[in-house]
């Protein structure tokens, strides 16, 4: 990974035979996956999963009405438009007080990708990417979306619809050329060999942020090492000496 200044947030997970996830924010990052925003009621249950279709919203095949729901980006804590939802996104759905099994309704839909950053490596043979030190497994079910400004230029660029069209970082240090900037949604998978990957359900391509921000770069994954003032998530070593 090339050297450059980054502000980012990260969340950590602890691995056993299953993967448990806890939340930890640095550099002023947002809240955790299924935590309600200030001023909202604590839900009695939360449905977590992947957006599989629209009509209302289908999460793991189960439909929720989103007519009165708030769509919240957990990393920024801000409300976004329902048009920001995409098939393959990782979400937590807080049911409305009036929700029933016959007519399920969402009060809040929380978005939380597992990684945001540039593609620092791409192996099309293995079907893997490296983003923020995390190994991302691409499968036949992985969705791709492209939101770059060049798509609407007078002479538009070609949309990125799969791994082969992604550019990875080249060079190092001051001469490094960054790869495509992406947000990765999916789930953590601990392989029998002991390696933990993100299995991607959505790779969303965007323009790289012009200025660093607390949510521009993110890693959410399994803690693989802990030091006195440092932690390693996947292949990303993080200095915690100035972290909140």
Q: Residue written as tokens 């809240």?
A: 31
- Residues 153-162: what's their mean pLDDT? 96
Question: Quick check: 158 pLDDT over 50?
Answer: yes
State the pLDDT at residue 145.
97
CA–CA dist 102, 72 (Å, integer) = 25
State the pLDDT at residue 23.
30
State the pLDDT at residue 101.
78
CA–CA dist 9, 172 (Å, integer) = 23
213 DSSP assignment: -
State the pLDDT at residue 180.
97
Question: Quick check: 170 pLDDT over 70?
Answer: yes
- Residues 37-54: what's their mean pLDDT? 66
Question: Quick check: 21 pLDDT over 60?
Answer: no
State the pLDDT at residue 44.
53
Measured in whole angstroms, the distance separating CA 105 from the mean position of its chain's CA atoms is: 24
3-state percent breakdown (helix, strand, coil) of the chain, nearest 5: 5, 45, 50
State the pLDDT at residue 10.
53
At residue 109, what are phi and psi to the nearest 5 degrees?
A: -125, 115
Stated pTM of the model = 0.79
Question: Quick check: 169 pLDDT over 80?
Answer: yes
CA–CA dist 90, 12 (Å, integer) = 16
Question: Quick check: 34 pLDDT over 50?
Answer: no
Number of Cβ within a 10 Å radius of residue 52: 16
CB-facing half-sphere around the CA of 46: CA atoms within 13 A? 17
Question: Quick check: 17 pLDDT over 70?
Answer: no
Residues in the chain: 244
**Three-state secondary structure call for residue 169:** coil
First to last CA, the chain: 24
In this predicted model, what pLDDT tens digit does every residue of 63-85 receive, in sequence order? 888 888 899 998 888 898 888 89
Q: Residue written as tokens 């190092």?
A: 172
Q: Six-digit token pair at 127?
A: 């079907």
- Residues 173-196: what's their mean pLDDT? 85
At residue 93, what are phi and psi to the nearest 5 degrees?
A: -110, 120
CB-facing half-sphere around the CA of 19: CA atoms within 13 A? 20
Higher pLDDT, 102 or 57: 57
Question: Quick check: 179 pLDDT over 80?
Answer: yes
Question: Quick check: 32 pLDDT over 50?
Answer: no
Average pLDDT, the chain: 80
Question: Quick check: 105 pLDDT over 90?
Answer: no
In this predicted model, what pLDDT tens digit does every residue of 186-225 receive, in sequence order? 998 876 666 678 999 999 999 998 876 767 899 988 888 8
Q: Is the dihedral of CA 43, 33, 201, 143 positive or negative?
A: positive
- Identify which of 227, 243, 221, 240 has the alpha carbon closest to the alpha carbon of residue 11: 221
Q: Six-digit token pair at 131?
A: 């983003």
């Amino acid at each position: 990974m090339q050297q450059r200044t980054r502000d980012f947030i990260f969340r950590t997970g602890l691995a056993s035979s299953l993967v448990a996830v806890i939340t930890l924010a640095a550099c002023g990052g947002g809240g955790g996956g299924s935590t309600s925003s200030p001023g909202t009621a604590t839900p009695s249950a939360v449905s977590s999963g992947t957006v599989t279709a629209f009509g209302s919203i289908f999460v793991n095949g189960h439909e929720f009405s989103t007519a009165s729901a708030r769509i919240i980006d957990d990393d920024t804590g801000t409300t976004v438009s329902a048009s920001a939802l995409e098939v393959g996104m990782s979400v937590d759905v807080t049911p409305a007080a009036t929700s029933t099994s016959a007519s399920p309704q969402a009060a809040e839909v929380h978005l939380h990708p597992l990684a945001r950053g540039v593609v620092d490596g791409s192996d099309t043979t293995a079907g893997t990417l490296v983003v923020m030190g995390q190994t991302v497994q691409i499968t036949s079910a992985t969705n791709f979306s492209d939101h770059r400004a060049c798509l609407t230029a007078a002479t538009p660029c070609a949309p990125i619809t799969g791994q082969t069209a992604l550019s990875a970082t080249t060079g190092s240090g001051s001469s490094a050329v960054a790869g495509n900037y992406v947000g990765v949604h999916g789930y953590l998978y601990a392989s029998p060999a002991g390696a933990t990957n993100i299995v991607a359900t959505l790779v969303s391509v965007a323009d790289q942020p012009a200025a660093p921000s607390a949510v521009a770069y993110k890693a959410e994954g399994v803690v693989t090492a802990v030091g006195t003032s440092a932690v390693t998530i996947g292949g990303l070593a993080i200095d915690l000496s100035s972290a909140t």
